[in-house]
Amino acid sequence: MTDAEKLGQPLNTLAFCWRIERRDGVTIGLTSHDRDLVIGGLTHRAAPGMTPSAVRAGIGLDGEDSDVAGALSSDAIREADLMAGRWDGAALELRLTQWEEPGALWLLLARGEIGAVARKGGAFTAELLGAAAVLNGPVAPSTSPDCRARLGDGACRVDMAARRKIVTVSGVEDGEVAMVDESGGGLVAGDYAFGTLRWLSGANAGLTQAVVDNGADKVVLADPPAFAVAAGTLALLTQGCDRQLATCAARFGNARNFRGEPYLPGMDLLTRYPGA
């Protein structure tokens, strides 16, 4: 029996199901039914407060984005995790099933990633960005004096294998993180500026933060960690780049892949150089 035939029956026992996969690999299932449903090996926890907005499908691109609203709960979607950004960019699927025969009807209603998240009282709303969202980006990149690539990506091509370190955190004060390099050597001052620190253990596990600067045994983060950090917590440090041509050539030997136009005159020509 096709999905259309099942939906055409006089009586249906329908429930919405969500599969949400965070960037750190954590996956949860939620359902609007009042009991848990196991579908495809994933338990969809009962979350009657979860409701989707109207979902439209067609041959055009209109209506691709939608919204989902739900209640905050301690074991599924916590307020602290939302505020810490754990759910930013998470992949989400919204499907329709029959709770009497979970999975027999498995109709895809929407697919995308979570965009802006808003919280009000004990509830939240999340924007679901559809596939058409990528068309909102520019067709061609704008020119810029700084490099537009990220260090180590497909445009940059710098090998990052030796530019990452696992460190043990010994203490955190505001945005300064004191640490010990697990490889036995210290950090080269400035190498991790504009890089990232990814927490591997502890309450912040899975979260990634921007690094402003670093010394031989500490780094300065752009923002303090979302949760308390205990001594002995492990973190992964990844080097950064200030996106300048001189740095690209001298430090990385990668000027041929520089994705910027440092010598192209622009609207800021008179303010780019001191005394101009």
Closest CA to 189 of 211, 174, 209: 211
pLDDT of residue 81: 81
In the predicted model, what is the mean pLDDT of residues 239-260?
95
> b/e per residue, 214-238, with b = 16+ CB within 10 A?
beeebbebeeebbeebeeebbbebb
> b/e per residue, 104-117, with b = 16+ CB within 10 A?
ebeeeebebbbeeb
Give the right CATH number for 3-132 from 3.10.620, 3.40.390, 3.40.1000, 2.30.110. Answer: 2.30.110
Closest CA to 69 of 83, 97, 50: 50
pLDDT of residue 276: 53
In the predicted model, what is the mean pLDDT of residues 152-176?
92
pLDDT of residue 61: 44
Task: Name the CA dihedral angle for 204, 183, 176, 152, rounded to a multiple of 10 degrees.
Answer: -70
pLDDT per residue as tens digits for the range 53-85? 655 544 444 445 566 666 556 466 777 787 788
Q: What is the CATH number of domain 164-259?
A: 2.40.10
Question: Is the pLDDT reported for residue 270 higher than 80?
Answer: no
pLDDT of residue 193: 95
Equal fold, 3-132 vs 164-259: no
pLDDT of residue 249: 96
In the predicted model, what is the mean pLDDT of residues 228-247?
94
Domain boundaries, the chain: 3-132, 164-259
In the predicted model, what is the mean pLDDT of residues 239-257?
95
> b/e per residue, 19-36, with b = 16+ CB within 10 A?
bbebbeeeebbbbbbeee
